[in-house]
Amino acid sequence: MSDEAQRLKIVFVGHVDHGKSTLIGRILHDTGSLPEGKIAAIQQACEAERMEFEYAFLLDALLEEQAQNITIDTTQIPFRTALRRYVIIDAPGHKEFLKNMITGAASADAAMLVIAANEGVREQSRRHAYLLSLLGVRQIIVVVNKLDLANYSEQAFREIEGEYRQFLSELGMTAREFVPASAKQGENVARRTDPALQWYSGHTVLEALDHVESTAALPNQPLRFCVQDIYRFDARRIIAGKIESGSLRVGDQLIFSPANKSSAVATIESWNSPAPEEAIAGDSVGITLREQIFVERGHVASHENDAPIETNRCRADIFWMAEEPLRKETEYILRVATQELKCKVVAIEQVMDSSTLATEIGERERLARNEVGRVTLQTRAPLVVDNHDRIPALGRFVLVDGGRICGGGIVFGGVYTDRTTVKSKNIFWSEGEITPTHRAKQNGHRGAVVWLTGLSGAGKSTIALALEGELFQRAMHTYVLDGDNVRHGLNSNLGFSAEDRVENIRRVGEVAKLMADSGTVVITAFISPYRLDRRRAREIALEGNAEFIEVFVDAPLQVCEERDPKHLYKKARAGQIRDFTGIDAPYEAPDDPDIVVRTDEQNVDESVATIMEQLLPRLRADDPID
């Protein structure tokens, strides 16, 4: 065993009273990790309180906790197996102490989730797994504890396993394994002795731990060097900070976001040791630059060809921990790595109950304590982020109110721009003097992008024109973008290759965004067969303050082929045109469209009415936009 290797951090979570602390106490005891003084002290405390000695007391050392029998705060304890060293993070199971659970769990490499066999899957068993997924802890061992209370019954174990597996799969998670145990009896923690557990041939708790993979640092990812401070204690101007991912070498050309200024690494500084040539993820370093550019705390250095996202608007999932609810349109401090800037939540799109996973769709004004919401954040100054699934350290943030951390979240769906092709130094969205709210007030409605998608022949263009007419009659500003007016001008240099189709949709998305920002209700009518392209179009619109409403114009392929208004299906069947959607190229139907119309069942007027009914409330001008 190497003492040099980094410790694996394991967080223990689960419903209150399911035996986490007892399991930890038992692990510490069975691995010989306790100092002598500690057992004696706890036994003394038990005698004083006239209580039976419990392994849980090893952790719950604060007086209040002994009285109440619950873990209040997170704590960390080292221990070792024959294989390697660990740090246990004990996180409280009580709902009241969610912020302490998050404090403990956020730094873990893996989680041990404890479910008591006599009680089964409970509220916190579910909520904790959901939070682990938000916190980015992906390796989970489920311990079905207190199995002695169920006579070590395999059926009791399998029932809990089945139920919980199903729950995890809904979260897109899988457990590494399910381990039956009784922490109190010491059964199947370090060893298996009771014949009643003979039906089980898998790992003990400790063996399961030893099989967890260490989440290595991230030197092979793109460089993100987050600036903490600039030091000028002597002649050197040292840029100090932490490398969150990737690596940097002396001589590397760095680009600093959001200023978008570039300079090369002159030296990597150090004290009392030779100056290194390279620094990697996890290192706290200081560098000097060749060209003296303006750099300050909050800037993020990357390599030129792989820069982070720079925006003033992003979508995120947020968990809220403060007593006072999160309110829309209220100013908070957003912290991402070392950046700190004012922000507000401009939309709370859906709220999820972290225990039942029940989703409540539809706009909300606030997010209460312990709720998780899908939101859009907006900042005044440019913000540097990554999507959480790409680079976690730059894809997670906290919201601060009154100096206190009130919530945390992860960023998704952001669009990367190739910085080498963007010549402007000012590529973030700039808000003019006239805001979307001003325009909405004058126009009597908001701008929006109404994105129709569906097979050729499904009726997109027909519906688009009819819808435009309806809106126009109501004195609304509206315009249709379709193949005809776009392909012939803006996109006349594009063909029908895969790349050109992607670019076609991107340009339409950008134009639609600008028109929507000008206050127009833009209706687009393109097959747009790929979910990814439509998602990008949505992101583009959101970046530009515009609401994006996806309408699925749905009709079975057979019906579309029978209609065949432009005889394209016929040509495709005859092999005269290739890569035709529905014939020899796929159409990816929307997973969760805002509006669906069935043109094989509804006529044009009915379809337009369906759209209008749901569209008009979303265009109302009285809600402030920014």
Catalytic residues: 528
Q: Which residues contact 271 (CB under 8 A, 6 or more apart)?
A: none
Question: Looking only at residues 382 through 411 of this chain, which bind other proteins when binding is defined by CB under 8 A?
Answer: 393, 396-398, 403-405, 408
| Contact status: 180 vs other proteins (CB under 8 A) | no
CB nearer other proteins, residue 6 or residue 153 = 6
> Which one of residues 46, 53, 54, 77 is an interface residue with other proteins (CB under 8 A)?
77
Q: Which of 236, 380, 566, 620 binds other proteins (CB under 8 A)?
A: 236
Closest CA to 397 of 323, 343, 322, 331: 343
Could you say which residues in the range 47-66 bind other proteins, by CB under 8 A? 48, 59, 61-64
Distance CA(365)–CA(375), nearest Å, equals 11
Number of residues near other proteins (by CB under 8 A): 69
Site string for other proteins, 334-363 (x = CB under 8 A): -x-x--------------------------
- Pick 279 or 515: Cβ nearer other proteins: 279
- Cβ-based nearer residue to other proteins, 105 or 466: 105
Cβ(375)–Cβ(363) below 8 Å: no
SS3 360: strand
Binding marks (x or -) toward other proteins, 120..149, rule CB under 8 A? ---------------x--------------
Q: Do residues 194 and 187 make contact, with C-beta atoms less than 8 angstroms apart? A: yes
365: DSSP letter: S
Cβ nearer to other proteins, comparing 26 with 335 = 335
Applying CB under 8 A, does 247 fall inside the site for other proteins? Answer: yes
Burial 477-497 (b: 16+ CB within 10 A, else e): bbbbbbbeebeeeebeebeee
Token pair of 155 as six digits: 């059926």
Q: Where are the beta strands (DSSP E) in 386-473?
A: 396-401, 404-412, 448-453
Indicate whether 38 belongs to the interface with other proteins (CB under 8 A). Answer: yes
87 in contact with other proteins (CB under 8 A): yes
Q: Does 235 bind other proteins (CB under 8 A)?
A: no
Q: Does residue 76 interact with other proteins by CB under 8 A?
A: yes
Binding mask 100-119 for other proteins (x = CB under 8 A): x-xx--xx------------
Least Å distance, CB 107 to other proteins, is 7
> Which range binds other proteins by CB under 8 A, 33-41, 167-175, 370-378, 591-599?
33-41
Tell which residue, 150, 142, 146, has the closest CA to residue 166: 142
Q: Cβ 36 to other proteins, closest distance in Å?
A: 4
Measure the CA–CA gap between 182 and 26, rounded to whole angstroms: 10
Main-chain dihedrals φ then ψ at residue 272, nearest 5 degrees:
65, 25
Closest to other proteins by CB, 9 vs 26, is 9
Interface with other proteins (CB under 8 A), residue from 78, 162, 251, 469: 78
CB of 541 to other proteins, least distance (A): 29
Instruction: Identify the three-state secondary structure at position 168.
Output: helix
| Min CB(345)–other proteins separation in Å | 18
Of the residues 284, 359, 420, 558, which one makes contact with other proteins according to CB under 8 A: 284
- What is the C-alpha to C-alpha distance for residues 325 and 368, in angstroms, rounded to an integer? 4
Whole-angstrom CA distances from 348 to 375, 395, 404 are 4, 19, 21
**Nearest distance from C-beta of residue 100 to other proteins, angstroms:** 7
- In the complex, the smallest distance separating the C-beta of residue 332 from other proteins, rounded to whole angstroms, is 13
595-598, strands of its sheet edge to edge? 478-482, 521-525, 448-453, 547-554, 595-598
CA–CA separation, 298 and 553 (whole Å): 45
Of the candidates 151, 201, 272, 493, which one interacts with other proteins according to CB under 8 A?
A: 272
69 near other proteins, rule: CB under 8 A: no
Q: Is 598 helix (H, G, I), strand (E, B) or coil?
A: strand
Alpha-carbon separation of residue 371 from 125, 207, 368, 407, 408 (angstroms): 16, 35, 6, 10, 11
Which two three-digit tokens encode residue 76? 């960390």
Q: Nearest approach, Cβ of 299 to other proteins (angstroms)? A: 13
Q: Which two tokens stand for residue 350?
A: 């859906």
Stretch that binds other proteins, among 99-107, 420-428, 482-490, 498-506 (CB under 8 A): 99-107
One-letter identity of residue 173: M
- Residues lying near other proteins in the complex (CB under 8 A) are found at 3-7, 34-38, 44-45, 48, 59, 61-64, 72-78, 85, 87, 99-100, 102-103, 106-107, 135, 217, 219, 228-229, 231, 233-234, 236, 238, 240-242, 247, 269-272, 278, 280, 282-284, 286, 297, 321, 335, 337, 393, 396-398, 403-405, 408
